[in-house]
Copies of this chain bind each other. A is one copy, B any other.
Amino acid sequence: MSPRSATTWVPGHITGFFAVERAPDPLATGSIGAGLALRNGVTVTVTAPGDGTITVDGRERVVEPAERVLGTFDTGVSVAVDTAIPIGTGFGVSGAIALGAAVGANAVTGATRTENELIGTAHRAEVEAGTGMGDVVAQARGGVPIRLTPGGPEHGRLDGIPARRRVEYVSYDELSTAEVLAGDIAPINAAGRAALRTVRADPTLDCFMTASRKFAKDADLLTGRVAETIETVEDQGGAASMAMLGQTVFAFDRDLSDAGFDPAVTRIADGSLRID
């Protein structure tokens, strides 16, 4: 009596700052940090039976973490994704597809995993694919997730900033999460841990933005055009930072518009998944 098709919506997620913590168990591996779940997200429709094909906005794509998720189910399914956010530019799209694929596959194959188990399945797939370290658990929480300890639901502890706000962003280009994480992670981790201490002492959206901006600078992750955009916003009295990890600049309220940019507009997402 399993339905043939199941649709799940997952929010986008911008990480403001992070530090990577690795462990032998992928479910205990991940990142600490904080970010924004966004109303601009992805809609994932899983259909059974299927041949494992994943299409994103109508085009077949290789989405390794989602393929790893599908490999954990006994029945073959197909996945169709509609996304309101660009891939590879710091919105956690790969994690969102992995999580939506997990929830949908569970529904259509008659598997009986719990939410925590499905979040763990998607988190593990992201870690093993090297495409993300903390988006999945953040997307499953929604709002403004603070990742206190790394890993899937059995390991990672989360908190959140209880505030919502308009978010603007401009995206320039992709940035490989796997390549950045393969580089020298020590300065990133030092800056990420410092930012987390700062935000835990003052858990507000303004402090989140300030800490994210300092992290981007201290971790030396700013690319040319991203740095220029942030500086232009700051010259106009606003605040902005870089989505980790993509060539995307985000700001609250109208700070990008007011500095003359033509940003996409969304809002911090309430809640987390929507399961149809």
Q: A-side interface residues toward B, CB under 8 Å?
A: 103, 106-107, 112-118, 142-143, 146, 153, 159-164, 202-204, 270-276
Q: Considering the chains assembled together, what is the distance between the CA atoms of A274 and B162 in angstroms?
A: 10
A103 and B275 within 8 A (CB):
no
The minimal Cβ–Cβ distance linking A145 to chain B, given in whole angstroms, is 9
Number of copies: 2
User: Closest B-chain residue to A9, C-beta based?
Assistant: B270
The minimal Cβ–Cβ distance linking A136 to chain B, given in whole angstroms, is 14
User: Closest B-chain residue to A202, C-beta based?
Assistant: B112
Q: 10 A–B contact pairs at CB < 8 A?
A: A107-B163, A114-B161, A115-B162, A116-B160, A143-B273, A143-B275, A162-B273, A163-B275, A164-B275, A270-B275
Residues of chain B within 8 A (CB-CB) of A118 are 162
A203 and B113 within 8 A (CB):
yes
Contact of A272 among B106, B142, B161, B204 (CB under 8 A): B142
Q: Considering the chains assembled together, what is the distance between the CA atoms of A162 and B107 in angstroms?
A: 8
The minimal Cβ–Cβ distance linking A101 to chain B, given in whole angstroms, is 12
The minimal Cβ–Cβ distance linking A115 to chain B, given in whole angstroms, is 4
Q: Considering the chains assembled together, what is the distance between the CA atoms of A159 and B117 in angstroms?
A: 9
Residues of chain B within 8 A (CB-CB) of A143 are 115, 273, 275
Q: Considering the chains assembled together, what is the distance between the CA atoms of A273 and B146 in angstroms?
A: 16
Contact of A115 among B117, B153, B159, B272 (CB under 8 A): B159
A112 and B271 within 8 A (CB):
no
User: Closest B-chain residue to A102, C-beta based?
Assistant: B162
The minimal Cβ–Cβ distance linking A122 to chain B, given in whole angstroms, is 12
A271 and B103 within 8 A (CB):
no
Residues of chain B within 8 A (CB-CB) of A117 are 159
A159 and B116 within 8 A (CB):
yes
Q: Considering the chains assembled together, what is the distance between the CA atoms of A159 and B119 in angstroms?
A: 10
A114, A117, A142, A146: most-surrounded residue (chain B CB, <10 A) = A114
Contact of A270 among B153, B164, B271 (CB under 8 A): B271
A114 and B146 within 8 A (CB):
yes
With A103-B162, A107-B163 already in contact, the answer to whether A203 and B112 are too (CB < 8 A) is yes
A162 and B270 within 8 A (CB):
no
User: Closest B-chain residue to A276, C-beta based?
Assistant: B164
Residues of chain B within 8 A (CB-CB) of A203 are 112-114
Residues of chain B within 8 A (CB-CB) of A112 are 202-204
B271 and A162 within 8 A (CB):
no
